[in-house]
Structure 1
């Protein structure tokens, strides 16, 4: 296994050095000692611990899961051929076919675009983000719906910034666990859902404890507080509405719960729209 581990280490280092920080939404922050990304940055982008990623580069983590490798491939902007190569040298086998989410229904897309002032997005039963509107991008950032922020369950438990910005994190996260248990019962043979649950159980102590308590909760509505770096603290109501076309997709909509939050959200969305128009 030593030659393969050496090849994995060399491949990951070379891939890191090829990625410019600005390509993945990171500030250059002046001169760097080495080109490309730091190990810590790759770990954060892939939603894994820095220690684990360092050990992966050193070939000391056993056989990593395919979902974790796909997260690293996305963080390093690997091509399809490079993704396959990463799996072969890290796992000794080709990866499963690239996941293609179910197409978004036309009516749901129309509803998304018809709510310019309300952050909204559509998820499937795995909580993969299928689409979001401009207001959601304004609130959660342009990376929302992509890479580590492409799945709201993974984002909630594995992306540190999400825990910091969700002031009612524990309540919201516990609801997510109960929701995933409901969805697992509905889709017991879905491999990607099983992979997601296994990943979260291994990577998050809170998720593992809450998963093992066997609580079931189908979240549909509630109120939460979000801390935004420029808009301050927003109190919003959230509603999850099921599509009636049998696709098991959900429309998630946020509405301001008080006057201050409404004004702050309107200012935030308007500034985002102005910035997009100026850039265009």
Structure 2
């Protein structure tokens, strides 16, 4: 294998500064506190989002870190909200080689996708054992908002999006269920690099996740009730059911139903209007 070339330092510095300048704090879930002399994120904010030291990020932006690894470049790409073309460019100028292909979740079966479409009034979606979204119906998009998309992951925003705690009124219980599920899933798939990367990332970036991971909780999330706070509809009480797909794929069908008459009325209105409720988990 050919060794990566050294960084193109002038272009790397200019590119990272330009990408940082275009991202607003609110775009990445950070509070916009105080006046900024220049637009965009501060270096320490990028370092925080990418889970690297501020000293390392400054040296990266100056082209003084040698050849950075692919994983840390992808963390910087995510922190800066880079497109796939921009991520590719960053790897080329920082490492001298193209990045590894992004993971594409395995598709849900045609019969499951037909089942989702046949439930227009019931938010439903398919997850794999990594909590990657494989398929969903339009009702799920109406509930979760347009950011809920195939290829996304439901565990990351639950722990890393500060707004998740405001929407999930039972955040601690729901989050701990996810930790227990991820441990059980990792035990079944110990050689899967994607789930290992997800767990490692959440342990680095979420103190709550790290604490609960270390207490060795294991559980299978199957059903329950949770409360969410919608900015227009107020508090909704929802039931969730998680059903295993019995085809050896280790996929799960998740379904949301209202738990009381008021929640049913509000949920029906959201789905008919296509209004987005930002709920994760």
Report the TM-score when normalising by structure 2.
0.77
The equivalent residue for 1:277 is: none
In structure 2, how many angstroms separate the alpha carbons of the residues matched to 1:91 and 1:236?
Answer: 48
Are the counterparts in 2 of residues 9 and 59 from structure 1 also a CA contact under 8 Å? no
After superposition, give the CA deviation of every residue in 1:120-140 in whole Å (9 maximum; x if it has no partner): 111111001112211111111
Are the counterparts in 2 of residues 6 and 59 from structure 1 also a CA contact under 8 Å? no
In structure 1, how many angstroms separate the alpha carbons of the residues matched to 2:221 and 2:84?
Answer: 36
Change (3 A) 1:204 1:195: same
Alignment partner of 1:102 is 2:106? yes
Q: Greater helix share, 1 or 2?
A: 1
In structure 2, how many angstroms separate the alpha carbons of the residues matched to 1:220 and 1:204?
Answer: 24
Q: With CA pairs under 8 Å and 6+ residues apart, which has the higher RCO, 1 or 2?
A: 2
Task: After superposing the two structures, state which structure 1 stretch, 205-214 or 83-92, moved more.
Answer: 83-92
In structure 2, how many angstroms separate the alpha carbons of the residues matched to 1:105 and 1:125?
Answer: 15
Change (3 A) 1:212 1:19: closer
After superposition, give the CA deviation of every residue in 1:155-188 in whole Å (9 maximum; x if it has no partner): 1101111221000000000010010001101111
Task: After superposing the two structures, state which structure 1 stretch, 201-210 or 122-131, moved more.
Answer: 122-131
Alignment root-mean-square deviation, CA = 3.6
Give the 5 Å matches for 1:181-200. Answer: 181-200=183-202
Number of equivalenced pairs: 255
Report the TM-score when normalising by structure 1.
0.77
Task: After superposing the two structures, state which structure 1 stretch, 191-200 or 83-92, moved more.
Answer: 83-92
The equivalent residue for 2:156 is: 154
Change (3 A) 1:112 1:10: same
Shift, 1:198, TM fit: 0.4
Give the gaps of 5 or more residues in structure 2: 1-5, 30-35, 276-281
Are the counterparts in 2 of residues 220 and 240 from structure 1 also a CA contact under 8 Å? yes
Match of 2:13 among 9, 13, 16: 9
In structure 2, how many angstroms separate the alpha carbons of the residues matched to 1:160 and 1:71?
Answer: 16
Are the counterparts in 2 of residues 16 and 76 from structure 1 also a CA contact under 8 Å? no
Q: What is the SS of the residue equivalent to 1:10?
A: helix
Alignment partner of 1:126 is 2:133? no
Match of 1:233 among 227, 232, 235: 235
